[in-house]
Amino acid sequence: MLRRTLLTTAALALGVLGAGMAQAQEKLKACFVYVGPIGDGGWTYQHHQGALAVQEKYGDKVEIQWQESVPEGADAERVLTQMALGGCKIIFTTSFGYMDATNAVAAKFPDVKFEHATGFKRDQPNVSTYNARFYEGRAVEGLIAGRMTKSNKIGYIGSFPIPEVVMGINAYYLNAKKVNPNVEVSVVWAFTWFDPAKEADAAKALIDQGVDVIASHTDSTAPLAEAAKTNGAVIGFGQASDMAEYTDGPRVTSIIDNWAPYYVERVGALLDGTYEQKDTWAGIAGGEVLIGDITEKVPAEVKAEAEKMRDDIAAGTFHPFTGPINKQDGSPWLAEGATAPDGDLLGMNFYVEGIKGDIPK
């Protein structure tokens, strides 16, 4: 039986090798480079959902290819070159660390479009960048945290001290303090994006310090699982993906990275010839950042308040960083009524006034 299958496969193989070249020319090849495995349940998983959405939307007109767990640096450059040589017409590089590789390869393949996530370099006309305003979601989390905390201690598990994370901490704290002036934030740096056991320990350390609302900026659900062990005393948020499996427990809402609208739009633009280089930083308004369902653990009026903030952000009537805001050392950053310029946010390397502790330098 096995042998017959093998023989059949062999026959098929010869057939495919012979004739396979002719087809597949018509389809547009959209390619994706991932920094982790699709099974990470967070960052890469969400990008892959976006890729699948592209396939579903355009069906026969596109073919998608992807490569998981591509290390940043030399390997990324090779994978990108292989993809470009292999006929990819648009390549999404989904990690900050691919920035230089993306621009270097783009210089060699002017006909291929490159889309780099979370970076800022567009050295070539065929490189576009895109990012999501996750801090908008952090602001909503902060509001809920400020309202929900009983101990007035809220926690944040950071990965690495980079602007993206610092921005998240500041947005979380500012909007918690707005509704609860007594609130204090404790930050624990895990120095890893992904180490479930360590993330659980970090959550536990925060809980042991009396923190009762935990936000995390690392990739796994471990902090939620740790919060679940407190029988409802501690709440947390889903990060990157909805983490809906914890809705009956500590997860009160979530920030969902939703790349599908952007991917569908860009591939669509390439298909119908309207593609242009651009720099996209969309948030709740663009549908790139979704706020997951707010569960019943949150009182109705807080839920309404959070949803209003979400809608105001989407409508552009509220900016999570609205002055007056001072830096941690007391020096002024934003004047009354001013909103943060994007440049300040993207390079943010300071805490706002009121947060204790130092950013590791």
Site residues for another protein, 22-61, by CB under 8 A, read 31, 36-41, 45
Residue 100 burial (CB count, 10 A)? 16
The single residue among 28, 72, 268, 327 that binds another protein, judged by CB under 8 A, is 72
287 burial class (0-12, 13-18, 19+ CB within 10 angstroms)? middle
Q: How far is the C-alpha of 196 from the C-alpha of 137, rounded, in Å? A: 23
DSSP string, 286-332: TTSEEEPPP-TTS-HHHHHHHHHHHHHHHHTS--SSBSSEEBTTS-E
Chain positions 101 to 130 lying near another protein, rule: CB under 8 A, are 101, 104, 119-120
Tokens 């653990």 -> residue:
297
In the complex, what is the shortest distance from the CB of residue 195 to another protein, in angstroms, rounded to a whole number?
4
Tokens 């009026």 -> residue:
301
The single residue among 52, 201, 314, 339 that binds another protein, judged by CB under 8 A, is 201
In the complex, what is the shortest distance from the CB of residue 26 to another protein, in angstroms, rounded to a whole number?
18
DSSP string, 162-175: -HHHHHHHHHHHHH
Chain positions 225 to 244 lying near another protein, rule: CB under 8 A, are 225, 241, 243
The single residue among 56, 61, 85, 232 that binds another protein, judged by CB under 8 A, is 85
The single residue among 191, 233, 312, 315 that binds another protein, judged by CB under 8 A, is 191
In the complex, what is the shortest distance from the CB of residue 96 to another protein, in angstroms, rounded to a whole number?
7
Residue 52 or 271: which CB sits closer to another protein? 52
Residue 352 burial (CB count, 10 A)? 20
Residue 21 or 300: which CB sits closer to another protein? 21
Is there binding between residue 206 and another protein (CB under 8 A)?
yes
In the complex, what is the shortest distance from the CB of residue 19 to another protein, in angstroms, rounded to a whole number?
13
The single residue among 93, 175, 218, 220 that binds another protein, judged by CB under 8 A, is 220
Question: Contact, 257 vs 241, CB < 8 A?
Answer: yes
Stretch that binds another protein, among 46-54, 136-144, 198-206, 284-292 (CB under 8 A): 198-206
The single residue among 117, 145, 148, 222 that binds another protein, judged by CB under 8 A, is 222
Stretch that binds another protein, among 143-151, 196-204, 278-286, 288-296 (CB under 8 A): 196-204
Residue 186 or 258: which CB sits closer to another protein? 186
Chain positions 139 to 158 lying near another protein, rule: CB under 8 A, are 155
60 burial class (0-12, 13-18, 19+ CB within 10 angstroms)? exposed
For the window 290-329, what string marks contact with another protein as x by the rule CB under 8 A? ----------------------------------------
Q: Which candidate, 326, 164, 168, 182, places its Cα nearest to that of 237?
A: 168
Question: Contact, 262 vs 133, CB < 8 A?
Answer: no
Q: What is the largest CA-CA distance in the chain?
A: 78
Residue 187 burial (CB count, 10 A)? 23
Residue 358 burial (CB count, 10 A)? 10
Q: How far is the C-alpha of 139 from the C-alpha of 307, rounded, in Å? A: 11
Chain positions 339 to 358 lying near another protein, rule: CB under 8 A, are 343, 346-349, 356-358
- Secondary-structure breakdown of the chain: helix, strand, coil percentages, each rounded to the nearest 5: 45, 20, 35
Residue 161 or 261: which CB sits closer to another protein? 161
In the complex, what is the shortest distance from the CB of residue 341 to another protein, in angstroms, rounded to a whole number?
12
The single residue among 52, 57, 75, 293 that binds another protein, judged by CB under 8 A, is 75
Chain positions 168 to 187 lying near another protein, rule: CB under 8 A, are 186-187
